C-alpha cells in the first residue's frame, strides 16, 4: 500500500511554500492570519517540522491566485 509522503514533514516542500509566500510579499503573520492558521504552524510547516494538508492547500491556492 502506498503512503502519502505529504503527510511526512518535508523540508524541501516547506522551502518551496516559503518561496510562494515571499513572492506574494506576505509575512508569516500575514499569511497565517489570511489562511486561519497560527504563525507557529506556518513557521513549522515551512521549516519541515510538521505537515499539514490544510496549509499545503493554502499555499497552492496562493500560487494559483498569483498567476492570475
Instruction: Give the residue extent of every domain in the chain.
Output: 7-66
**Which phi-psi region, left, alpha or beta, contains residue 48 (left: φ > 0; alpha: ψ -120 to 50)?**
left
Cell triple for residue 37? 492558521
Interacting residues of 20 by C-beta distance below 8 A, sequence separation 6+: 59, 62, 63, 66
> Could you report the per-residue pLDDT of 21-54, keeping only the tens digit for each?
999 999 999 999 999 999 999 999 999 898 889 9
Tell me the average pLDDT of the chain: 89
pLDDT at site 4: 55
More confident call, 8 vs 29: 29
In this prediction, residue 68 has a pLDDT band, given cuts at 50, 70 and 90, of: confident
Which residue is associated with the grid cell 524541501? Answer: 12
CATH number for the segment(s) 7-66: 1.10.260.40
Query: Could you give the residue ranges of the DSSP H alpha helices within 1-68?
Result: 11-23, 28-35, 39-46, 53-66
Amino acid at each position: 500500500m502506498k503512503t502519502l509522503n505529504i503527510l511526512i514533514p518535508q523540508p524541501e516542500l516547506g522551502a518551496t511554500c516559503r518561496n510562494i509566500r515571499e513572492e506574494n510579499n506576505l509575512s508569516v503573520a500575514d499569511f497565517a492570519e489570511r489562511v486561519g492558521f497560527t504563525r507557529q504552524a506556518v513557521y513549522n510547516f515551512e521549516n519541515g517540522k510538521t505537515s499539514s494538508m490544510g496549509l499545503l492547500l493554502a499555499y497552492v491556492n496562493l500560487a494559483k491566485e498569483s498567476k492570475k
